[in-house]
């Protein structure tokens, strides 16, 4: 009998130990990666709103610096697209990009020329097209040659302040969503919950890493790269404020941190990922090309493509090694998405 109990314990322990370690992994990610990221976003967005109240002049250094810090905070959490960011389209309200049809400048020009009174209230402003909200809209008002001076000056000022306040409010709501429930939701899966098991939570975190890498490679780099015959430098993300390359770097830093958490306890995998991230990051730093203007020149273009390939190499490790290690690998058709 005693022997039997011992065998049973042996059989059961590894499974529950794995469950515990998964739960600890999730807790680590929520506490050290997710919550601090959204706290920074809420704090910096609040500071941006305050700076806009003090000076709404697009050329104001204080305003532009506050804008830059808040936008940095967003990019660093922009891969965490689940839960509170998706309620009421909050993430899109902060970041409507890529804007393949140029809706943002059109919507802003419309508001400015009509002096639409909706801009006088932050709560009302949540009703406008999401293309006219968030960091990318604000970038046009602060940095676009035409839109930074368009419209009546007083109205332009109100619009800058309202968009900033709207960003602050949205960021606050996301943080509250995490603090008031979603962190617990991720830490305590249950049959009736959003997540039924730790594995489902891990799958979501894994997916945000994979999707974040894909977005940075294919969109942040892919859109300005265009094709060899038709490079698209004007499609670079946030090029007006000179932030395109910075966004790739910030996202790689954030994704590297998430990857390190997910690979915790697997030394070989961690080392491999760390090296791959470092390689891509140093290749990017060596470019010294803030808005990827080099896409139009064959030689500098090649170097930007190399950064993209570096991210592709990370994606391969994540898909082929991390996925199976976490037990969340997707099948041939499950991965397809068609």
Partner 1 sequence: MTAQNTGRRRFLGGLLAAGVFPKPTWADVGAPAFLSAAAKPDGSSVLCGVGANLQVLFELPLPARGHAAAAHPTRPEAVAFARRPGTFAVVIDCTTGTQRATLCAPHGRHFYGHGAFSSDGSLLFTTENDYEAGQGRIGVWDTLQGYKRIDEWASGGVGPHDVKRLPNSETLVVANGGIETHPDSGRTKLNIATMAPNLAYIAGGAVVERVQLAAELHRNSIRHLAVGVGGQVAFGMQWQGSGPLKTLVGVHLQGAEVQLLEAPTQALRAMQGYVGSIAFTPDAKAIAVTSPRGGVVQLYDAKMQGQLETFAMPDVCGIAAVGETLTVSSGNGEMRHLLGSTRLLRRLTELRWDNHLVPVA
Per-residue mark of binding to partner 1, 13-52 (x: CB under 8 A):
----------------------------------------
What letter does residue 329 receive in the DSSP assignment?
A: -
For the chain, the first-to-last Cα distance in angstroms comes to 54
CB within 8 A of 271, min separation 6: which ones? none
**Of 3, 5, 16, 100, the one binding partner 1 by CB under 8 A:** 100
Helix (H) or strand (E) run with residue 200 in it:
helix 198-214
Q: Report residue 23 as tokens.
A: 């739960």
**Of 71, 143, 215, 277, the one binding partner 1 by CB under 8 A:** 215
CB of 69 to partner 1, least distance (A): 25
Which CB, 161 or 185, lies closer to partner 1? Answer: 185
**Of 83, 105, 310, 323, the one binding partner 1 by CB under 8 A:** 83
Q: Mark out the alpha helices in 182-297 (DSSP H runs).
A: 183-187, 198-214, 222-225, 244-262, 267-287
264 binds partner 1 (CB under 8 A): no
User: CB–CB of 137/99 below 8 Å?
Assistant: no
Which CB, 225 or 304, lies closer to partner 1? Answer: 225
Which CB, 14 or 337, lies closer to partner 1? Answer: 337
193 binds partner 1 (CB under 8 A): no
Q: Residue 48 and residue 21: Cα distance in Å, rounded?
A: 39
Q: State yes or no: cis peptide before 98, omega within 30 of 0.
A: yes
Q: Residue 153 and residue 232: Cα distance in Å, rounded?
A: 33
CA 11 to chain centre: 41
Q: State the CB neighbour count (10 A cutoff) for residue 261.
A: 19
Which CB, 52 or 107, lies closer to partner 1? Answer: 107
- Binding part of the chain for partner 1, among 82-90, 159-167, 168-176, 239-247 by CB under 8 A, reads 82-90
CB of 197 to partner 1, least distance (A): 12
Which CB, 226 or 290, lies closer to partner 1? Answer: 226
144 binds partner 1 (CB under 8 A): no
CB of 211 to partner 1, least distance (A): 9
102 binds partner 1 (CB under 8 A): no
336 binds partner 1 (CB under 8 A): yes
**22-51 burial string, b = 16+ CB within 10 Å, else e?**
bbebbeebbeebbeebbbbbbbbbbbbbeb
Residues that bind partner 1 in the complex, under the rule CB under 8 A = 82-83, 86-87, 89, 92, 96, 98, 100-101, 103, 130-131, 214-215, 217-219, 222-223, 225-227, 232, 330-334, 336-338
């Amino acid at each position: 009998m005693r022997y039997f109990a011992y065998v049973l314990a042996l059989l059961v322990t590894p499974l529950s130990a794995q469950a515990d370690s998964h739960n600890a992994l999730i807790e680590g990610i929520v506490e050290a990666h997710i919550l601090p990221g959204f706290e920074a976003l809420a704090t910096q967005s609040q500071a941006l709103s305050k700076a806009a109240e003090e000076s709404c002049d697009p050329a104001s250094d204080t305003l532009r610096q506050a804008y830059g810090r808040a936008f940095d905070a967003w990019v660093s959490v922009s891969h965490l697209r689940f839960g509170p960011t998706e309620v009421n389209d909050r993430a899109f309200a902060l970041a409507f990009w890529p804007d393949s049809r140029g809706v943002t400048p059109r919507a802003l020009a419309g508001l400015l020329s009509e002096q639409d009174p909706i801009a006088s209230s932050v709560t009302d402003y949540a009703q406008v097209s999401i293309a006219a909200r968030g960091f990318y809209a604000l970038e046009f008002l602060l940095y676009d040659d035409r839109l930074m001076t368009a419209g009546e000056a007083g109205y332009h000022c109100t619009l800058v302040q309202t968009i900033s306040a709207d960003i602050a409010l949205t960021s606050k709501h996301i943080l509250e969503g995490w603090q008031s429930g979603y962190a617990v939701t991720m830490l305590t899966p249950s049959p009736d919950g959003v997540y039924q098991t730790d594995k489902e939570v891990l799958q979501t975190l894994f997916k945000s890493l994979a999707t974040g890498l894909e977005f940075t490679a294919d969109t942040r780099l892919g859109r300005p790269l265009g094709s060899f015959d038709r490079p698209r430098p004007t499609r670079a993300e946030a090029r007006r404020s000179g932030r395109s390359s910075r966004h790739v770097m910030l996202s790689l830093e954030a994704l590297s941190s998430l990857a390190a958490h997910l690979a915790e306890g697997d030394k070989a995998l961690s080392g491999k990922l760390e090296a791959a991230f470092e390689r891509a990051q140093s290749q990017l730093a060596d470019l010294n090309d803030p808005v990827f203007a080099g896409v139009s020149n064959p030689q500098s273009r090649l170097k930007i493509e190399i950064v993209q390939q570096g991210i592709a190499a990370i994606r391969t490790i994540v898909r082929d090694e991390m996925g199976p290690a976490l037990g969340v690998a997707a099948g041939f058709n499950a991965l397809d998405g068609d």
